[in-house]
Amino acid sequence: MKSSILLDGKAISEKIRNRIAETLAKAKSEGKGVPTLATILVGDNPASETYVNMKVKACEKVGMGSRYVRMKEETTTEELLAEIRKLNADASVNGILLQHPVPHQIDERLCFDEIALEKDVDGVTTISFGKLSMNSEAYFPCTPYGMVLLLQEYGIEVSGKHAVVVGRSPILGKPMAIMLTNLNATVTLCHSKTKNLPELVKQADIVVGAVGKPEFIKADWIKEGAVVLDAGYNVGNVGDIEISKVKDKASYYTPVPGGVGPMTISVLLLQTMYSFLNQFSPKLDSHASNR
Ligand code: NAP
């Protein structure tokens, strides 16, 4: 049996980030300044705090500025909207990331949709989603686009394949299903009401785990030779798929950690860089034209 190939998100990310650092150093030497990513964290969710710190550090490492806006747990929707409007109006800010999830009293969708389209480097607005659905230029949700970049980087053919995506959240499963459709896969999008999930997963040439439940997708559901992408990240450093057991049967698989996670941050940096560079060549609407 052929052994499976690890989709090395860490190594690919390093390549992407080196490229970003080089481009930004050049832009700086030309007197263009540096991009700034503004990150808003509402409340004191320790996991969110860790993610935000990782993003801030990643910005620094590639020579990007970051603005960290911390808001208290009791923040209201109106207060958060006002903060987003301020960042929208600030010409020195190129990208805005509102860390998900926000405390329950906040209308998260309303706040996401307040982010100016040209600063929506996390691809969370309804308009960006609509543009993606129409296969037109937009910034993409970072995690699914990170997975697509991995497929492309390893030359994995998507066209004509049957992809089964498990999970339909607006930032992950649903846009991933659309991206794979745009790449000419035949896509089955599964969720908590799906019947016969194991049977559906068994038909997949490409499986995407985006459920948020540790090792929920079992190794014996996976077809021999399938490409396995695990977006999940759960307590104990495990994904949503039984990856350790999948290694023997998949053609390609993402490890957890070191697979999809680093790619998510790299896409965020990449899209912030494009937003910054677009100021100087406004014809380039987004990186979609570089695909
Ligand atoms: P989410 O918003 O909680 O969505 C989970 C999805 O899974 C929902 O669509 C839900 O279906 C579906 N689901 C739940 N139970 C199911 C079941 N028994 N059978 C089939 N589907 C089921 O989660 P998310 O934000 O998309 O995140 C998913 C995972 O990705 C988590 O592990 C998260 O930590 C990880 N993540 C990783 C990154 C990264 O950078 N690596 C970024 C974001 C998220 P319904 O729609 O029917 O409720």
Q: Compute, in angstroms, the gap from residue 120 CA to the centroid of ligand 1.
A: 22
Beta carbon of 261 within 6 Å of any ligand 1 atom: yes
Atom in ligand 1 nearest the alpha carbon of residue 211: 7
- pLDDT tens per residue across all 291 residues of the chain: 568 999 999 999 999 999 999 999 999 999 999 999 999 999 999 999 999 999 999 999 999 999 999 999 999 999 999 999 999 999 999 999 999 999 999 999 999 999 999 999 999 999 999 999 999 999 999 999 999 999 999 999 999 999 999 999 999 999 999 999 999 999 999 999 999 999 999 999 999 999 999 999 999 999 999 999 999 999 999 999 999 999 889 999 999 999 999 999 999 999 999 999 999 886 544 444 333
276 assigned to some structural domain: no
CATH of the domain at 81: 3.40.50.10860
Q: How far apart, in whole angstroms, are the C-alpha atoms of residue 267 and residue 17?
A: 9
56 and 148 in a single domain? The answer is: no
Tokens of 176: 């991933």
**154-265-211 Cα angle (round to 5):** 80
164 and 208 in a single domain? The answer is: yes
User: Catalytic residues, which ones?
Assistant: 55, 99, 122
Q: Compute, in angstroms, the gap from residue 167 CA to the centroid of ligand 1.
A: 5
71 and 107 in a single domain? The answer is: yes
CB atoms within 10 A of CB 202: 15
155 and 195 in a single domain? The answer is: yes
149 and 208 in a single domain? The answer is: yes
Q: How far apart, in whole angstroms, are the C-alpha atoms of residue 176 and residue 141?
A: 9
Phi and psi at residue 6, in whole multiples of 5°? -80, 130
215 assigned to some structural domain: yes
- For the entire predicted model, the pTM comes to 0.95
Specify the number of domains making up the chain.
2
44 and 104 in a single domain? The answer is: yes
Tokens of 214: 């540790």
Beta carbon of 13 within 6 Å of any ligand 1 atom: no
1 assigned to some structural domain: no
Residue of the CA atom closest to atom 6 of ligand 1: 167
Structural domain that includes position 177:
140-262
